[in-house]
Amino acid sequence: MPDKDAGTPRVFLVRHGETEWTISGRYTGRSDIPLTPDGEHQVSSSAGVIVGPGRIIDPSKITHLFISPRTRARRTYELLFDESAQKMIEGKSETTEDIREWEYGAYEGLLTAHIRAARKERGLDKERPWNIWVDGCEEGESADEVSNRLDSIIAKIREIQGPYMHGEKGADVVLIAHGHILRAFAKRWIGFPLSTSLPMMLEPGAVGVLSYEHHKVDEPAFLLGVNMGGSR
């Protein structure tokens, strides 16, 4: 049976590899923390399996990359795409603050337990614990502010991919960024407010995939299963 959505453009969400703060669970926004050796290995291992001609992420089919300016994201890009792949996507990458991590403000470098305890001491969150998806971050970004900047990227991607819903041209897009912002992006991709409870996991160095149903740009969807054979 033929794949009814074959050729539909995809959006690949790539989380940077492990850092020391990833291990400890500290909120890492603007802090420029490098990858650990294990983090570099995570990305390199993923690259060897999923990136290359005829593989899931085929450089010849990439039309645009959005990359966070943080060192950990830039290094992930360098590890994910070897020299030959970088030549193929030359001129298609955009390093932009629009896909930076959530601005944690006063919560930068803290753990969730510490944030909740400190807020409780100040008489906040009497009815429920602090939830970043609802409450945002003091001196940082609100959920609405994050939604607005992600919606602008989504609009750009839909404009890029809209003319090629039936595979007329390779129009895959890659985002290389961070755990919270990529999960927020996934929610906004399908039109959910960030406050919507939609538990998602994206491990360091991992890749998530979004696409569209029925070859229609106004029917965005999660792509829950990817054929590991790669080429479509």
Residues 42 and 16: their CA atoms lie apart, in Å, by 9
Nearest to 57 by CA among 150, 152, 176: 176
- Strand ordering across the sheet containing 220-222: 93-95, 62-67, 172-177, 11-15, 207-212, 220-222
Return the CA Rg of the chain. Answer: 18
Helical pair 143-161 and 179-189, crossing angle rounded to 10 deg: 60
pLDDT bucket at 2, cuts 50 / 70 / 90? very low
Contact, 65 vs 93, CB < 8 A? yes
Q: Are strands 207-212 and 11-15 parallel, antiparallel or unpaired?
A: antiparallel
Q: Identify the active-site residue in 40, 101, 108, 141.
A: 101
Residues 49 and 44: their CA atoms lie apart, in Å, by 9
pLDDT bucket at 5, cuts 50 / 70 / 90? low
Residues 209 and 206: their CA atoms lie apart, in Å, by 10
16 is catalytic: yes
Sign of CA pseudo-dihedral 62, 68, 70, 76 = negative
Q: How many other CB atoms are found less than 10 A from the CB of residue 139?
A: 10
102 is an annotated ligand-binding site residue: yes
pLDDT digits (tens, 9 = 90+) for 18-73: 999 999 999 999 999 999 999 999 999 989 899 999 999 999 999 999 999 999 99
Tell me which residue has tokens 């629009």.
98
Tell me which residue has tokens 């029917």.
219
Domains and CATH numbers, the chain: 11-104+142-222 (3.40.50.1240)
Question: In sequence order, which residues have a C-beta less than 8 Å from that of residue 115 and are 6 or more positions away?
Answer: 27, 107, 130
97 is an annotated ligand-binding site residue: no
104 is an annotated ligand-binding site residue: yes
214 is catalytic: no
103 is an annotated ligand-binding site residue: yes
What is the pTM assigned to this prediction?
0.94
Question: In sequence order, which residues have a C-beta less than 8 Å from that of residue 166 and are 6 or more positions away?
Answer: 7, 8, 215
Contact, 208 vs 46, CB < 8 A? no
Output the CA angle 126-197-209, nearest 5 degrees: 145
139 is an annotated ligand-binding site residue: no
**How confident is the model at residue 226, as a pLDDT?**
66
Whether residue 1 has pLDDT greater than 50: no
